[in-house]
Amino acid sequence: MARNIPYEENHRISENEELQKKCSIHETYSQGEDPWLPCTNEYYYKTKNKTDGLVPWCKQCSIRKSMKWAEENPELYQTLQRNKERNPKRIKRNRQHAKEQKESGYFGEYIQRPEVKARRYHENHRNHDITEQEWIYCKDYFRDEDGDWCCAYCGKKIQDHFRIFKGEVQKIDLHKEHVDDKGSNDLSNCVPSCGDCNSSKWKFDFEGWYKEKDFFTEDRYNKIIKWTTEDYQLYIENKSPYKIIRKRNEGLTTYHYELWELDDKRNYIKCLNIADKKKDLEIILNKLSNTYT
């Protein structure tokens, strides 16, 4: 339980005659920064305490504290995020908020900003576009000394890789991991990863993240580098630079299909056509593929 600090110890009047409050955890998460901040809602979250109506630590430290906890508990963090997404009240509230933003005109202006469009595009197109055979080649390349498929980062065997779904233990395949989160979607940027490493790696830089882990080994590091820079070329297949993807409509209950052109790294370049039925785009795709070949 937190200690009740007397009001005089964490409040003061500045030289500008401004009421300031001392953040109780500033030294832990914001070393070197001044812990005395204006005692307002701009710097502190509200609470029901009877002293000043604000929590003991500032908003910035609260964010840093949450980020550190999420990094140390990736599996639990992912579970909490999924539970939030499934919460009916939260879904209803988010939809109402989105509707209000759209009606006000702000939402349309916001998503048209170049940096926002680039981020949304990146988030919606992060699946690897590789064949089943390429995926098998990739897992074969990273087999361990016993000949088992394993995580390229920590070496966990695929037979030890499982998840708990509806109270039952299920063995699952390894994840197709982007070594460079902002890199390509082809085989050159794909390694097999266990769920723990996949969650922990997230969008962090590969080298900085991996070398700080307890399971880091020079051999596995060199093998990943060799695969992503050279050896993947021995297994990559020649594929058509076009792909049909299914996307959810605005009403969230129906879908449409889009035909996209891809670059040589299997990243999406531009949408060529849209249709309600996949077979309509397959006709166009066949014509483009014949021209390509």
The residue segments making up the domain with residue 156 are 132-234
Per-residue pLDDT of the chain (293 residues; tens, 9 = 90+): 344 556 777 888 888 888 888 888 887 777 778 888 888 888 888 887 667 788 888 888 888 888 888 888 888 888 777 766 666 777 778 778 777 766 766 556 655 666 555 556 555 556 888 999 999 999 999 999 999 999 999 999 999 998 877 778 888 999 999 999 888 888 999 999 999 999 889 888 999 999 999 999 999 999 999 999 999 999 998 888 998 988 888 766 788 999 988 888 888 888 899 998 899 999 888 888 776 55
Query: Distance between CA atoms of 259 and 272, rounded to whole angstroms?
Result: 5
Which residues are paired to 38 by β-bridges?
A: 20
In a domain, 119, yes or no: no
In a domain, 2, yes or no: no
Q: Which of 179, 188, 172 is nearest to 220 (CA)?
A: 179
Are 142 and 219 found together in one domain? yes
In a domain, 176, yes or no: yes
Contact 30, 61 (CB under 8 A): yes
- CA 182-186-192 angle, to 5 degrees, is 85
Are 199 and 263 found together in one domain? no
Instruction: Decide which of 68, 90, 121 is a domain's last residue.
Output: 68
Are 152 and 208 found together in one domain? yes
In a domain, 125, yes or no: no
Beta-carbon contacts of 213 under 8 Å, excluding residues fewer than 6 positions away, are 153, 154, 200
Are 56 and 102 found together in one domain? no
In a domain, 126, yes or no: no
Instruction: Give the DSSP letter of residue 184.
Output: -
In a domain, 96, yes or no: yes
Plot region of 167 (φ>0 → left; ψ -120 to 50 → alpha; else → beta): left
Overall pTM surpassing 0.85 (yes/no): no
**150: its two tokens:** 């394993």
Are 143 and 223 found together in one domain? yes
Are 101 and 20 found together in one domain? no
Instruction: Give the DSSP letter of residue 255.
Output: E
Are 13 and 48 found together in one domain? yes
